[in-house]
Chains A and B, each alone.
Chain A
Amino acid sequence: MISLFADSGPAIHVAPGGVFHIGSWVITNSILYGWVASAILTILLVWTARRVIVKPRGGFVQFVEAGVEFIRNLVENAFDDKRIARKYVPYFVTLFFFILFNTWFGLLPVVGDGFHSGDTPLFRPFTGDLNSTFAMAIVTMVVVYTASIRESGGLKKYIKHFFVGSPKNPLYLIIALLEMFTDLTRVVSLSLRLFLNVAIGEMVIAVFSYLGHFAAPLTALPFTLIELGVGALQSYIFVILGVMYLAIAVNHANHDTAHGEKDHLTEDEQPETIGLAPGSARG
């Protein structure tokens, strides 16, 4: 019998549930799946790294290579100095693949209400838990702050960047304090964005597989495919925002030290043109 308006709604979980205990620590289903995904990811990427050859033959190896190349270009283009940029490439590549594969593994059928441990699902996507995305955002911002303090040469010089003029002027002081507060909210916005996108994607899939009833695979399929794109987009955005926060501070510091040494608009680096480019197709 088809019942669109049944009493029990779709199974929606906002918070992760505890699966088992180690001592007094509760091991939730999201951290459990995070461990599983990390183990798979480590083995998979080490296996991939051994198989990188000069002329790629396609397949998974080339996909990973393209991803690494993509993030490397992204980081190098954000910084003025490519030498500094290369130092931070490994962290952002790791972050990109970790978020990407954790989000994609979260779409597998083993995740969610398929397998239960007691009342709670056994697995939950690692990025669909505010605690884990918050941890990732905190680690990213710690990297950003330590790197920008180191690149600007000391804490005092780093704090000086927040001030437009003298700190004795109350207006500049208030602007600087506001800027510092905005910096601190980045942790919250980074973590909430990733968590809400993944968790709400899970909910949408749950709702549509519930509405589909016996045709649940058909109704849930389009939203699962959308979630593949959302996972890729969100990992890209997490990384590019981290790179931007880092690049703003580091470029500012470098700009001050190299001030007046060279003009920024030389022959080889032309500014982004607004007018007519020679080869542009205009109809």
Chain B
Amino acid sequence: MAIFADAVNLTVVGKGLMVGLGFIGPSIGIGLIGGSYLKSVGRNPEAAKFFGQALVFVAIVELFGLLAFASTFIVK
């Protein structure tokens, strides 16, 4: 195992997994928010005024992706 750890830098692999897996959830979430916003605007064009509220939810979801990215700086 020590030889393997010397050959492959496991820290980089771990960081890559953290970022990659951590970004899956928020990207699905932002896609769902944008999709439902456009769907509701398509049904009822007056709903376009809720764009600001949609952005608020995007920001709430985005936080978890940023947390995943920021955690890579903790891994040494």
- List A residues at the B interface (Cβ < 8 Å): 14, 189, 192-193, 196-197, 199-200, 233-234, 236-237, 240-241, 273-274, 277, 280-282
Shortest Cβ gap from B15 to chain A (Å): 13
- Residues in A whose Cβ lies below 8 Å from that of B59: 193, 233-234, 237
Contact flags (1/0) for B38-76 with A, using CB distance below 8 Å? 000000111000001001100110110011011001000
Interface of chain A: mostly helix, strand, loop or mixed: helix
Q: List 20 A-B contacts (CB under 8 A).
A: A14-B73, A192-B63, A192-B66, A192-B67, A193-B59, A193-B60, A196-B63, A196-B66, A196-B67, A196-B70, A197-B62, A200-B69, A234-B59, A236-B52, A237-B56, A237-B59, A274-B44, A280-B45, A281-B45, A282-B45
**Distance in angstroms between the alpha carbons of A280 and B59 in the assembled complex:** 30
Q: Is the CB of B63 within 8 A of A193?
A: yes
- Residues in A whose Cβ lies below 8 Å from that of B55: 233, 236-237
A192-B67, A197-B62, A199-B70 are known; give 13 further A-B pairs, CB within 8 A.
Answer: A14-B70, A193-B60, A196-B70, A197-B66, A200-B69, A233-B55, A233-B59, A234-B59, A236-B55, A237-B59, A240-B56, A241-B56, A280-B44
- Residues in A whose Cβ lies below 8 Å from that of B62: 193, 197
- Residues in B whose Cβ lies below 8 Å from that of A200: 66, 69-70
- Residues in A whose Cβ lies below 8 Å from that of B46: 273, 277, 280
**Chain B interface residue count: which class?**
10 to 19
Count chain A CB atoms within 10 A of each CB in B44, B52, B59, B62 and give the residue with the most.
B59
- Residues in B whose Cβ lies below 8 Å from that of A237: 55-56, 59
Shortest Cβ gap from A87 to chain B (Å): 23
Closest chain B residue to A14, Cβ basis: B73
Closest chain B residue to A193, Cβ basis: B63
- Residues in B whose Cβ lies below 8 Å from that of A189: 63
Closest chain B residue to A244, Cβ basis: B56
- Residues in B whose Cβ lies below 8 Å from that of A282: 45
CB within 8 Å for A193 and B45 given contacts A14-B73, A236-B52, A237-B56: no
Shortest Cβ gap from B22 to chain A (Å): 12
**Distance in angstroms between the alpha carbons of A192 and B62 in the assembled complex:** 11
- Residues in A whose Cβ lies below 8 Å from that of B73: 14
List 8 tightest A-B contacts by C-beta distance, closest first. Answer: A196-B66, A237-B59, A193-B63, A14-B73, A196-B70, A237-B56, A280-B46, A281-B45
**Distance in angstroms between the alpha carbons of A273 and B69 in the assembled complex:** 41
Shortest Cβ gap from B8 to chain A (Å): 19
Shortest Cβ gap from B4 to chain A (Å): 24
Shortest Cβ gap from B48 to chain A (Å): 11
- Residues in B whose Cβ lies below 8 Å from that of A234: 59
**Distance in angstroms between the alpha carbons of A277 and B44 in the assembled complex:** 9
**Distance in angstroms between the alpha carbons of A200 and B55 in the assembled complex:** 19
Closest chain A residue to B69, Cβ basis: A200
**Distance in angstroms between the alpha carbons of A170 and B67 in the assembled complex:** 34
Contact flags (1/0) for B15-53 with A, using CB distance below 8 Å? 000000000000000000000000000001110000010
**Distance in angstroms between the alpha carbons of A236 and B52 in the assembled complex:** 9
**Distance in angstroms between the alpha carbons of A240 and B69 in the assembled complex:** 25
Closest chain A residue to B49, Cβ basis: A272
Count chain B CB atoms within 10 A of each CB in A199, A200, A237, A282 and give the residue with the most.
A237
